[in-house]
Amino acid sequence: MNWDAWLPVLVVASSLLPGLVIFFLREGSHRLRTLLNLAGAILKLVLVGILIWGVFHEHVYETRWTLAPGLDVVLHADTLSVLFVTLSTVLWLVTTVYAIGYLENAPHRSRFFGFFSLCVSATVGLALAGNLFTFVIFYELLTLATYPLVAHRGTPEAVRGARIYLTYTLGGGMLLLIGTVWLYVLAGPTAFVEGGILDSLPAEYHPQLKMIFLLLIMGLGVKAALVPLHGWLPQAMVAPAPVSALLHAVAVVKAGAFGIVRVVYDVYGVNFADQLGLLTGLGIAAAITIVYGSLMALFQDNLKKRLAYSTVSQVSYIALGTAILGPIGTIGGVVHLVHQGIMKITLFFTAGNYAETLGIHKVSEMNGVGRRMPATTLAFSVAALGMIGVPPVAGFVSKWYLGLGALEAGMAAWVMPVLIASSVLNAAYFLPVLYRAWFREPGPVWPAEHIPAARLETSAALLWPPVVTATLALAAGLFAAAPYSPLEWATLIAHREYGL
Amino acid sequence: MTDAMIWLVALPLAAALATLLLPRSATAVAIGSGLATTVAAGLLLFGVATQGALHYEIGGWSAGLGIALRADGLSALLLMMTALVALAASVYASAYFSAVSERARFWPLWLLLWTSLNALLLSGDLFNLYVTLELLGLSAVALASLGGKHAAVAAALRYLLVGLLGSMLFLAGVGLIYAGYGTLDLATLASVVEPGPVAWTALALMTTGLLLKTALFPLHFWLPPTHASAPAPVSAVLSALVVKAAFYLVLRLWLDVFADVVTPAAANLLGLLGAGAVLWGSWRALRVERLKLLAAWSTVAQLGYLFLFFPLLLAMPPGPARDLAAGGLVMLALTHGFAKAGLFLAIGIIQQRCGHDMIRELDGTAQRLPATTFAIALAGVALIGLPPSGAFLGKWQLLAGAVATGQWVWLVVTATGSLLAAAYIFRVLGHAFGHRPYPNQPVTVAREEWPALLLAAMAALVLGLAGAPVWGLLEIGT
Amino acid sequence: MLTAQWMYGLAGCVIMALGLRGALLHASLLQRIVAINVMGAGVFMLLVAVAYRGPVLPPDPLPHALVLTGIVVAVSATALALALARRLHAEQEDD
């Protein structure tokens, strides 16, 4: 049995098959559903571990299936895909545990976990996509799988939020598709190759290539929440907390950012993109998004909305890193894919905990919550400090590399002010929250205390995930120099991209 | 394998007579013959794939006066689709019609329709095509008027008159062809026809007649009322198969027989009408209140996509690029057939359970019928053209062809149409999310829900994932 | 060359056109049905003209076969149309 060809498919199937079975389970079969979910997640983890080891040793894992003449679906594991797949797998496991706790006694759990698993399968397929055609397919499948999750609660606001989400993402998907088709007509099947493949095309195609780049980035930018295509993200906050966590840390937003990285590095090639003058435009869009997102976050009282705008801002660090020419900038952008994921998911987990345990939805209701829920608030604090860029949490590492990369590329003049302004703004909208949580006196009664204080401040399934991810965020920063750390892996990616 | 061609016509015809004579066992006869016909279609497909184009002269009389049956890759694929859709709809119909009197009138007409479809797809000359086209039209009209409701009868009558008009125009064209070239055999004509006033006039007459039957904008006015008022299995077959048969004829005439006569300008006209169909049909589908009307307008729009291919195909020289585009066209047609049939069957279930098909009042319904809603979702994915449906591959070819030939307007039309389709499909699916918990079993009436599910799955999954052989089969030309 | 064949065929075309005009323009259902039949008659005349092969040879049987088929179809279709029209009329009287 040729394992090398089957491994990528198995990674996708390990969540797809349990998901399909879960759809047909009765609402009451908790044990079986939990078993399927966790079994799939652990199996996926094991398979991804094998992938990591193999790719590090330059093994080739590739699955190829022909859909039509000249159009192959290719699943291929390279360094960048392994980074994203690992992030998705680890965070899926954590989010599954969290979701089981969060949705206790909620209706339609089979439908929820079914689509949840489909969503992860689509994300993993997208991560493993070996050419632009496959990427587009999984990109659209991701939209289809996440729509029912956003609409899950069934309230008019949920359905409306889901409709807005769909409008943006299907529109973006169409732009992405048109750009991809155009590129295929010009350049044939565009496989993802480190260093890009388009620099060999004759110069008369360059204006078309610029247009294609614009289309691709716009299409990807919808999911990656680049301003002004970010409008769906705050609206999608109507989804249950596990969905927001998954969407904002792992699946949808990262898929867009990951796509941008792929297009710049493995389709165009960073040097060629710079030659065409495309990196400057991308950098400016990223910079605007970073500042805008942070500014809007400042004015939000609703905690999840504040975190949503924070996501808008933070994900563009990845795009910014992509726009900075040079390996150090690349490392900063790519490693932030992982770091932002871990930190943001922690924040959403804790926001969900506040809502589920105490009925807290607004920042103004968070006075003194640190005393009632210390572990949760500690996790929140670690993640928030990471977002601001305080060492030794992981966020500091990303910002450091971004700044250093900008200096090296001679772009420090405008990148540094953006980074500094963003950190200041992050501090401005996170530090007051921390102050409130730890140092203010709580009100006489919480808005809606669903889970009374017992041995643990909230249910175990809700408590452990944010603690775990906060620890990971701390570890990613502290042990950044260790082998197999996200930073080391990002360095490997950068070296292979630049041919060092 | 050539025997399969005979069975494909003889089996449903014999079964039609049998169901007329034995009304009590009509259902069993119908389903049994349906299965046998499907097996024959499979054998034919296999035969064409392995032996190349097949040819049979009935009675041994050669072309000229004899009736020849021909099967190539295109017709074999369409025959397979016809068989699968008709079989699924037959199983559905056996549960849908509860009264014996309804069933007694339904099965003979249904099997006659199936016969005419098969015979049309297998015909090798214009005379036979005319006969089968008429048979198809008459049985379709009779089926559409079943149930006797005022709206259905009025729509069926309009359909009949429009169809008759189209047939007369078609016949006039056939007469002209015979006057000019002395033969009606398709294969012979393909080599003999030359550009000239006779060929142009004949093509114009025949095409106009066929466009009336395939409901291309602006000749589409009869379709929405007819398909929306007919019983569910009839609507499924009307939208999925009957209009496709007329389209198949346009395709054959333009790409095979009159290949030397057609000009890019004429193709652009077809493309323009197709664009009108896509935009107008999608727009109307977005505005209507009833599910069946939505599905009918969706058919008008989806047929428009098929006509968008014409200007692309004619702008490309014969070769691999053109074959790729032609394959995309067929893939789109096949996917639409399965998807639209599945959609109509699912809508029929909703109509029966709730007594209405108003979109605004779907909320509780979608909760009570999860399997049906899932079928609608799958069919919807295929109608929008999202992966992994076959329509995604078809639209890819459409977009690629538009880019490659520099005809960007078709790309814009396709993109807009797809987004509009997403709007009207998700308008319906949005109602599937509500507060009520699901019932314990997902499937309530198996004989109705499984056909809908399987047809929709065929469109949304099977054709998209396993559809690569379609291109290979299409190369087997007459 | 205004031979009998040409005159016959031309007349057929004119009748076809008149029938078409009637089918498109007339408001009443019955008039439309009749107009389509007239159009059919025109097409049949055209086909009969095509069948003529000169004073010596017998006419070509194939267009004649087409005409017969066409007549059968037209009759059946007209019957169906009239049945449906009667059904509609009956329902309107009931209202």
Mutate to test the interface with C, among B123, B165, B188, B206 (most CBs of C within 10 A): B165
On chain B, the residues whose CB falls within 8 A of the CB of A137 are 387-388, 392
Q: Contact, B42 vs B81, CB < 8 A? A: no
Selecting from B320, B415, B468 the residue whose C-beta is nearest the C-beta of A66 gives B468
b/e burial code for range A271-281 (CB count within 10 A of at least 16 → b): bbbbebebbee
Nearest Cα to B247, choosing from B471, B123, B78? Answer: B78
Q: How many CB pairs under 8 A join B and C?
A: 82
**Within 10 A of A167 (CB to CB), how many other CB atoms are there?**
18
> Which pair of structure tokens corresponds to residue B475?
């190369």
Distance from CA of A96 to the nearest CA of B (A): 22
**Within 10 A of C61 (CB to CB), how many other CB atoms are there?**
11
Identify the weakest region by mean pLDDT among A159-163, A249-253, A311-315, C62-66: A249-253
Mean pLDDT of B450-455: 89
On chain C, the residues whose CB falls within 8 A of the CB of B174 are 66
Give the separation between CA B424 and CA B359, rounded to whole angstroms.
11
Identify the weakest region by mean pLDDT among A286-290, B66-70, C17-21: B66-70
Q: B173 to chain C: nearest residue by CA? A: C43
pLDDT exceeds cutoff 60 at B318: yes
Cα Rg of chain C (Å, integer): 17
Evaluate whether chains B and A are touching (3 or more beta carbon pairs less than 8 Å apart). yes
Give the separation between CA A129 and CA A138, rounded to whole angstroms.
8
Give the separation between CA B417 and CA B224, rounded to whole angstroms.
18
Position B478 scores a pLDDT of 45
Give the separation between CA A353 and CA A463, rounded to whole angstroms.
8
Tell me the CB-side half-sphere exposure of residue A99, using CA atoms within 13 A: 31
Q: What is the pLDDT of residues A351-392, one digit of tens each?
A: 998 888 888 888 888 888 888 888 999 999 999 999 998 888
Q: How many CB pairs under 8 A join A and B?
A: 86
Burial class of residue B99 in the structure, from the number of CB atoms within 10 Å of its CB (0-12 exposed, 13-18 middle, 19+ buried): exposed
Mutate to test the interface with C, among B162, B168, B201 (most CBs of C within 10 A): B168
Give the separation between CA A235 and CA A220, rounded to whole angstroms.
18
- Report which DSSP code applies to B53: S
Give the separation between CA B185 and CA B475, rounded to whole angstroms.
21
C18 contacts chain B (CB < 8 A):
no
Mutate to test the interface with B, among C6, C29, C60, C66 (most CBs of B within 10 A): C66
* A71-77/B68-71 β-pairing: unpaired
Selecting from B130, B145, B168 the residue whose C-beta is nearest the C-beta of C36 gives B168
pLDDT exceeds cutoff 90 at A448: no
Mutate to test the interface with B, among A64, A65, A153, A185 (most CBs of B within 10 A): A185
C31 contacts chain B (CB < 8 A):
no
pTM for the structure as a whole: 0.93
Whether the bond into B218 is cis, omega within 30 of 0: yes
C-alpha A303 chain-centroid distance: 19
Contact B157 C16 (CB under 8 A): no
ipTM: 0.94
Tell me the Ramachandran region of residue A188: left when phi exceeds 0, alpha when psi lies from -120 to 50, beta otherwise: left
Mean pLDDT of A237-246: 86
Q: What is the pLDDT of residues C40-89, one digit of tens each?
A: 999 999 999 999 888 888 988 889 999 999 999 999 999 999 999 998 88
Give the separation between CA A200 and CA A178, rounded to whole angstroms.
22
- Taken in order of first residue, the domains within chain C and their CATH numbers are 4-94 (1.10.287.3510)
Position B64 scores a pLDDT of 66
A148 contacts chain B (CB < 8 A):
yes
Selecting from B399, B433, B467 the residue whose C-beta is nearest the C-beta of A178 gives B399
Mean pLDDT of A444-463: 81
Position B408 scores a pLDDT of 93
Contact B396 A140 (CB under 8 A): no
Give the separation between CA B355 and CA A70, rounded to whole angstroms.
48
pLDDT exceeds cutoff 70 at B434: no
Distance from CA of B69 to the nearest CA of C (A): 18
On chain A, the residues whose CB falls within 8 A of the CB of B381 are 144
Q: From residue A175, give the alpha-carbon distance in Å to each of A172, A180, A221.
A: 5, 9, 10
Nearest Cα to B447, choosing from B83, B104, B87? Answer: B87
Identify the weakest region by mean pLDDT among A4-8, B123-127, B428-432: B428-432
Contact C73 B134 (CB under 8 A): yes
Contact C43 B172 (CB under 8 A): yes
pLDDT exceeds cutoff 60 at A230: yes
Q: What is the pLDDT of residues B262-294, one digit of tens each?
A: 888 999 999 999 999 999 999 999 999 999 999
Nearest Cα to A465, choosing from A23, A12, A85, A41? Answer: A41
- In the structure, what pLDDT confidence band is assigned to residue A241 with cuts at 50, 70 and 90? confident
Give the separation between CA B240 and CA B452, rounded to whole angstroms.
13
Q: What are phi and psi of A74, to 5 degrees?
A: -125, 125
Position B200 scores a pLDDT of 93
DSSP secondary structure of C9-74: HHHHHHHHHHHHHHHHH--SHHHHHHHHHHHHHHHHHHHHHHH--TTTSPPPHHHHHHHHHHHHHH
pLDDT exceeds cutoff 60 at C9: yes
B412 contacts chain A (CB < 8 A):
no
**Contacting residues for A42 by C-beta, under 8 A, at least 6 apart:** A93
Give the separation between CA A343 and CA B261, rounded to whole angstroms.
67
On chain C, the residues whose CB falls within 8 A of the CB of B141 are 80, 84
Selecting from C33, C69, C84 the residue whose C-beta is nearest the C-beta of B156 gives C84
Identify the weakest region by mean pLDDT among B72-81, B127-136, B442-451: B442-451
